[in-house]
Each structure stands twice: as C-alpha cells, then as structure tokens.
A and B are shown apart, each in its own frame.
Chain A
Amino acid sequence: MTYISPRPHGRPERLVVVGNGMAGMKAIEETLERAPGRYAITVFGAEPRVNYNRIMLSPLLAGEKSFPEIVINDAGWYEANGIVLHQGDPVVKIDRERQVVRSRAGHEVSYDRLLLATGSSPIVIPVPGKDLEGVVSFRDVDDVERMLDAASAGGNAVVIGGGLLGLEAAVGLQARGMQVSVVHLAGWLMERQLDQAAGFLLQRELEGRGVTVLTEADTAEIVGTERVSAVRLKDGCTLPADLVVMAVGIRPNVDLARNAGLEVERGVVVDDFMTTSDPAILAVGECIQHRRQCYGLVAPLFEMAKICADRLAGIETNGYAGSITSTKLKVTGVDLFSAGEFQAGDDCEDIVFRDAARGIYKRLVIEDGRLKGAVLYGDTRDGAWYFQLMRTGEEIAGTRDTLIFGPAFAGAGAPANPSQAVAALGDDAEICGCNGVCKGRIVAAIQSEGLTTVDDVRRVTKASGSCGSCTGLVEGLLQAALGDGYEASEVKPVCPCTVHDHDTVRRLIRVGRLKSIPAVMQALEWRTPDGCHVCRPALNYYLLAAWPGEYVDHAASRFVNERMHANIQKDGTYSVVPRMWGGLTSPKELRAIADVAERYRIPTVKVTGGQRIDLLGVKKEDLAAVWADLNAAGMVSGHAYGKALRTVKTCVGSEWCRFGTQDSTAMGVALERLTWDSWTPHKVKMAVSGCPRNCAEATIKDFGVVATEGGWDLHVAGNGGIKVRPTDLLCKVKTPEEVEEHCGAFLQLYREEARYLERTAHWVERVGLDHVKARVVDDAEGRRALYRRFLESQRHAQDDPWADQTVRGTTRNEQPALLAAE
C-alpha cells in the first residue's frame, strides 16, 4: 500500500541539492514527476555547466558526440521547473543545526530537505610525478578537453588502469591519433567484470587496433621535469608519454558529509530509503554506501534516484535492496556485456559457448538452479534478457539446455525474431542502460502519448538517446506495440546488412580510423559475414576516399566493369573506350583503334556522346591484348565504366571558331588531365564551351564551364539522364587556374560528402547550392584545402589501369581443362 503524506501548509518545502550530476538530477526529475510543485529546489554544482551525461564522455573523447549532444537537462529545464542553479559553485559547509548550506561563493541557503549527490573523485595513485603537467584523470568535460588538447599534437599516451574507463580513454585517444599503451595491474583487462577468457579476447581486439596492452604492470614513477615525458614501471621498463591518464578507480566524495558530522565510512552511509544518519538529509549516487556497498555505475544510481524520489514525494516503498550491476564497454565495435557474479565458486556451474572464428564468447554462471552471472563477448544481444533473469532470480532448470542460445530458443519453438524477443521481456526489464529506462515506461509512453517513431520515444523517455546501442530494442517495442502501424525510422540503412545510413558509416570510418572492409563490418556490427553487392562497393569507395594512398582497393568488392576496366554487355562481351583528352585525337590514335578493331574482330565501333570512340563486343579473353595495343599507341583507359571522371567534352573554341571567346579545348584538356582516374561517388561528366552558344552542352554536366569575354562561368550539378536537370551557376572566375582550383575543390567536396551512387545533381539538391557555394566559393581558405586534398588523392590515383599488369591478370580467371580423377 502506498500513501502520500499530506503537504504542509503555506510555502513549498525547500529542497537543496548538493551536486549537479546524473544521480542528483535523476532524483530531481523523478521527484518532479511524483510531486510537482511540492519543493522549491536549489541546486549547487561544482562544474561550470548544466547537467550532462557523464557516461557519454567516451563518445565525446572519440569524437562521436559533441557536448550539446550529451547534455541531459539544458538551462531551459531548470528554468521551467523553477530550479535555482548555482553553476561552478560547490557547497563548502553544511550547518545541520540551522539547516543551512554555504557555498564557496558565500551563498547561504536554508533547507527543509537536503540531498547530497556529491559523486566521487578519481583515485590518484601516490607515485612520484603524479602532479606533473600532462597527467590527467578521466572524469569530466574538463578532463576530456585536456586530453583532446594533448591528442592534437599526437605523440604517446599511457593510460594507467585497464578497467572500463581506462579502456574507453585508450580507444578514444587512439582514435584521435595518439600511440596508446594501457598499463594494468591485474592479470587481465577489466578483471572485475570479465573472466580471463573474455579479457583475453578484449586484449586481442584492442591490440588489433594498435593499442599496446601491458598486464601485471605496476607503475613506479611518472617521469618528467615540468611536463610528463615517460612512465617507468616497477619491472624497469619505461614507456614514453606525452599524456598520462589515470583511470584506476574512484573514491566517494565524503568530506562535506564527514565535516557535517554525518555517519561516513567509505561512503556516506544511507539506509534503504537513501536517508543518512540525519533524517533531513538524503544522499544518492556514487557518494553513498549502502549495505557496505559503493557503486560506480549508472544503473544503480538510477535505482537509488527512484527510491529517493519516492521518499521525497512521501510514497512508501520497500526501499532499496542494492543492485546487481551490469556493464557494457562503450567502445564502438566491441560488444561486451557482463553482469552479476562470475568468479565461480564451488557450488557454481558454468555454461560456456565459444565461436572463435567470429570472436564470440559467452559464459553463464548458475547457482542453485538460478542464473548468477553472465559474460558475453562479441554478441551481447541477449544481455538484457540474462540480466532480467538474474534480477528476478527465476528458476531456469526447465530452459537450462538452451539458455546459452538466448530467449529466441528459450520458449518452445519461439521465433528468432528480435521484436518478439523484446516482447518476451518483463515490464521492469531495463532497455536503456544509459538513461535507466525500463520496458514498461516505454510501452506506457507509446500507448498513452501515441508515439510512433524512435525519435518520439527518445524525446519522451530518453531511451536510446545517449549511446544508441538499444535503438534496436526500442524499435522492437514500437513494432510490438504498433504492429503494421510502425514504419521504421527515417534513417535509411545502406542495405539490409546494416542499421547505419551512408553518412553514419562514413563518419564512423573516419572517427574509428577503420581502414578495411572487414574492419568496418566488425566495428559497425554488420549483420552479414561479408556484406552484399550493395554495401561492399560503397564501403570500398568510402575507404578509398577516406584513406588515399593507404587503403588498398578491394577488387572483389567492385562491380565487374571496374574490375575489368571495360563495360560488360548483354552477351557477356565487353566494350572498351580509350581516353581522348578533351575529345581530341590524332591519326596515330585513330590508326591504332582501327588496327585493334580489325585484329580482334571487334564487331561495332561507335562514336559516343562524350566525344570518344567505343569498341563494342570485345571478348573477355582479348581484353588484355586490346589494352596492350592501345597502350602502345599512347592511349590510356577512358574510365567509361567507372564511378569516376568519365569525359570532358569540349567545343573547338577560339582556336578555330569565329565566335569562340576562349580556348575551350585547351581548358578541357587541362581539366581532364587534372581529374582523370579520380574515383567519385557516381560517374562525373564535364564539358567546356568556348562561348555562351554552349556547343559542348556544358549546362547539363556535373561540372560545366562556359567561356565569356571576361573569363569563365562555372556551372554545377547538371544531368542529362532520365530527368534532365540544367546546371546551377556556381560562380564566375577570371583565369584558367581559378577554373582548375574550383573544379578540384567542387569534386573533392562531392567525393567527401555525397553518398555512394548519388550524382552531383541529387547531392546538390539534398545539401543545397548555398552550402556548396559557402564551401567552394565564399571560403577561399577552405576551397584551397579541398583542392589540396583532391590533388593529394590524385597523386595516388593517376595510374593507367590498363598498364597495370596485376589488373591485366584479373581478367584471366579461367582454369585449365578438367582432369579426370583416379
């Protein structure tokens, strides 16, 4: 039975909160929900900013999130709820007799109820050099800023502590370009959450990403005069260091409570109702100690916050019974889940599943017919379900045989459908660990507020709004609640192999420094072993564009035309188009083409719309010889087959034409020499006309140049295909050098921003011409940077594929005749 205590007459009660972190503000959110208007609330925070999601510091460090994205409650929230917020002003004294707190800035505020949520501080190990410049902890936004500062100069980072926080710091710094070593005292990483086998898999994964991991390594000294220069270990080994991150644990902040005479042990001692030894003072979060336990994870804080809010609202509950905790490592591409007890005792039994090839390890610990602990590595989808089984303490004897395969197999013949798996969860199953949102809350919100999209659910409940790893579960709940009425989110995945859209994939390739197709698929959790014909060519392009000169093109992920450097025709023969710069040719080239056509009995020779000569019906086995003959006459591949620069079409211009105002053929040849052999999201066609009569049809090209008396008009994003789209005028320039710089910059912006298979016309319509103008025309410095990146990429690209013997080899894939076996 619950009751709500009568509200006192007159003024609202005064509630003062010490600490503006996640636990304190969660308690306030929950209190406002239960008893709106009951309290006049004042909050003191030591940090000079609004309340943010501390567990998102890792994505902030890795560059996957920005600060505004991790803010939980912005200034408007405090205002709307009448909360007085003192930012950057910690409380320094509690006068329990007068019921008054005093802040560092001298504010004195009286309270009826006081809530301590002072959190914890990172432990600094007492070694020489711990106070040197460049030694930081990983606790707040200021720490992240210091780390980013150091990372911008590159160099070496040493992370002391291979626990959750230390590893997230290590991976974040590595993604920011530092050489990172992790120094860990225990025998394996995250020894408090993982067993040795999972710790080993994790270590191998991190080492694969270039992080050095030293276990059983004890720090003796941090070396340096003013700034840190190295870390010396007790075994004598010395690691160079420009940055040292200490992440060896946290210690509850108890000084304020202790000085006020409250009962304090390791933390501020509270009872099951989050009340301290002074009934007017409650405490929640990492600063407390409950039944001899202190907590440093977010889920318990949220559970405490709810109990605390019940107390503040006068709702009677059974109180807080402590938390079983679960852990997820927030490192993109590493799936790791751990919950409960797993250091098996004598009465415990283990169920273990391994799939080494896929890097999957699962271990369940069972005691007295109940699930006690779980470690999941590589595939954590069933973590929520196991965690729920642990919390309810359900008997598992009946399902034990298939328990390791998760909820899909647990019921008799239950379908392996994720949305049904989530439907099988109980109402108090936690869906969003970051924000402490359970299934019942989400389902209720969907029903009572008529929510229809993941964004709606995020807005109303915050579920999946932080790290996003539970987005699939939220979608499952929407699907279960709305049935056919649910339309999946507007995010359009690249293909069914992934949940990510093109833009997200590109961003994560750069942020995660992913440099191969398997690395992308592993890190972004592809659902298929090696993708499909849709995603593989896209990934190949994105990697090529992101890491010029470094990424090795993956032929098996290219469409046959780009592998053969010729266009496949309906009968399985190919067409070959040699490049004719700016549409110019010569008797020697024409003779070579004629010879090739006769020698290899090429049935059709045709002039193309792009001013080239197309040899149609070349047999595959003749391709290499045709190229060799054309090469010998000085011709190279025309890339008529590629998502690449195709042709630059020109008119004859001022050299011959009586109307010509500029030398359009020379300009066209220069542009083609500049841009040939550049891979782009889709094909790119260009043209240069020598006067506004525009005989080269430049105004339906991706990049069109039209000469005028005073210079050149630059047009972009035209298309002469299914739907004719005339170009937009980008700008007018004076010199051929400017034409080249604008052309290269425009193409580079297209290469960096457009989605694979998106023509310039569609891209410009999507992002807006103003955006392109702002980047290519208005921002001269930015344009030069784009142009430089284009030239850098071209430096690695401009090789004639026809001349490349290894490319020639790829066309020979026929085996000798079959041999009869004995």
Chain B
Amino acid sequence: MTEPLDWYEFGPVASIPRQSARTTRTDAGQIAVFRTVDDRIFAIPDRCPHRGGPLSEGIVHGHKVTCPLHNWVIDLATGNALGADDGCAGRIPVRIENGRIMLGLTRAKAEVPGD
C-alpha cells in the first residue's frame, strides 16, 4: 500500500451482534465489518470475489463467513477464499480504541457517495 492510512470510526464493538456483520457505504463500495464468536472484529469489502454476493449476509463461523449466494467460504483475516475456491475479497485494517471500531482507509476511499 503506497498511500498512508487514515483512521475512521465505524461505531462501537457492541453495535455488532456476535456472529454477525454490519455494513457501511464508502466511495470504494460497501464495507462489511464482522464480529466473531470470540469478539474479534474484521473488515472486508462486502463483495464475494465469486459473483459479488453480499458477504455481510452470510453465516459467520470461526473467523470465516460463508457467502449466501453460492457458499464460498471467505477467511475474514485475509479476504481469501478457502478450500477449493480461489479469489480474494480484500481486507481493511481494523483497530479497536476504547471499545470503538476504527477502520484504516485511504482518504479518498472513505468519502460517502452523494452524502
């Protein structure tokens, strides 16, 4: 990554139920932020590398999510498709500060379109 990261506040950890995701819209498309059963937070673009399915609607298990369209399983830490499938959804750096989720984005990408 060449451009330096800026940190943006997404919201409190508690705003995402365990084994679920919440989303936010940015210039670079929708981002899905996941909270796993062991309270880890991960953020990846909300698009399955297969056919663009909304990963935020998938079943979250371990540090993985299963895409609701065709059951591709995506590793939340890397964005990579697991098993026989090949592809990467991408990954967004996450930091937790005082219980609040911070996403690391380049400034241009964080602007919300139209708002």
Contacts and interface: CB of A to CB of B under 8 A. Distances in A.
Contacts of B80: none
B88 interface: no
Given A814-B24, A815-B11, A819-B9, A529 B59 contact: no
Interface stretch (A140-148, A234-242, A363-371, A554-562): A554-562
Given A570-B69, A817-B115, A559 B7 contact: no
Nearest to B107: A820
Contacts of A819: 8-9
A572 interface: yes
B66 A815 contact: no
Contacts of B69: 568, 570
A24 interface: no
A813 interface: yes
Contacts of B23: 813-815
Interface string A790-818: 00000000000000000000000111111
A332 B8 CA distance: 48
B101 to A, nearest CB: 9
Contact of A814 (B7, B25, B60, B62): B25
Nearest to B95: A821
A813 B23 CA distance: 6
Contacts of A814: 22-25
B10 A813 contact: no
Contacts of A559: 59, 68
B59 A536 contact: yes
B112 A817 contact: yes
A779 to B, nearest CB: 39
Contacts of B17: 556
A533 B72 CA distance: 10
Nearest to A813: B22
A379 to B, nearest CB: 17
A660 interface: no
A537 interface: yes
A821 B115 CA distance: 18
B9 A821 contact: yes
Contacts, number: 97
A321 interface: no
A531 interface: yes
Interface in A714-749: none
Interface in B5-52: 6-11, 15, 17-26, 33, 36-38, 51-52
A337 to B, nearest CB: 26
B90 interface: no
Given A817-B25, A817-B115, A820-B110, A532 B8 contact: no
B61 A818 contact: no
Given A818-B10, A818-B24, A528 B62 contact: yes
A817 B24 contact: yes
Contacts of B52: 572
Contacts of B36: 530
B54 A572 contact: yes
A772 B62 CA distance: 39
Contacts of B81: none
A563 B20 CA distance: 12
B29 to A, nearest CB: 12
Contact of A821 (B19, B56, B102): B102
Contacts of B7: 820-821
Nearest to A528: B62
B12 to A, nearest CB: 10
A533 B112 CA distance: 32
B76 to A, nearest CB: 13
A377 B73 CA distance: 33
A533 B69 CA distance: 12
A557 B59 contact: yes
Nearest to A564: B57
Contacts of A815: 10-11, 15, 22-24, 33
A564 B20 CA distance: 14
A816 to B, nearest CB: 8
Contact of B9 (A529, A560, A561, A818): A818
B15 to A, nearest CB: 7
A813 B20 contact: yes
- Residue of A528, A559, A817 with most partner-chain B CB within 10 A: A817
B11 A532 contact: no
B89 interface: no
Interface in A557-602: 557-561, 563-564, 568, 570, 572
A818 B103 contact: yes
B20 A556 contact: yes
Contacts of B103: 818
Nearest to B59: A533
Nearest to A569: B69
A814 B24 CA distance: 6
B38 to A, nearest CB: 7
A359 to B, nearest CB: 14
A674 B82 CA distance: 43
A531 B112 contact: no
A473 B26 CA distance: 52
B52 to A, nearest CB: 7
Given A556-B18, A815-B11, A530 B6 contact: no
A531 B60 CA distance: 9
Contacts of B59: 532-533, 536-537, 556-559
Contacts of A561: 68
Contacts of A537: 59
Contacts of B6: 820-821
A333 B26 CA distance: 46
Contacts of A568: 53-54, 57, 68-69
B112 A529 contact: no
B58 interface: yes
A818 B20 contact: no
B83 to A, nearest CB: 11
A641 to B, nearest CB: 11
A533 B22 contact: no
A533 B66 contact: yes
A533 B10 CA distance: 27
A560 B33 CA distance: 17
B95 to A, nearest CB: 9
A559 B110 CA distance: 30
B67 to A, nearest CB: 9
Given A813-B22, A818-B9, A819-B9, A556 B60 contact: yes
Contacts of A558: 59
Contacts of A531: 61
Contact of A556 (B19, B105, B110): B19
A620 B25 CA distance: 14
A514 to B, nearest CB: 18
Contacts of B10: 815, 818
Nearest to B53: A572
Contacts of A570: 51, 69
Closest 10 pairs between A and B when the two form their complex, measured CB to CB: A533-B66, A818-B8, A556-B19, A530-B37, A533-B59, A560-B57, A560-B68, A817-B112, A819-B9, A821-B7
Interface of A: 357, 528-533, 536-537, 556-561, 563-564, 568, 570, 572, 813-821
14 contacts: A528-B61, A532-B62, A532-B73, A533-B61, A533-B71, A556-B19, A557-B19, A568-B69, A570-B69, A572-B53, A815-B10, A818-B9, A818-B112, A820-B8
Given A532-B73, A556-B20, 11 more contacts: A528-B62, A536-B61, A564-B57, A814-B22, A815-B11, A815-B15, A818-B8, A818-B24, A819-B9, A821-B9, A821-B102
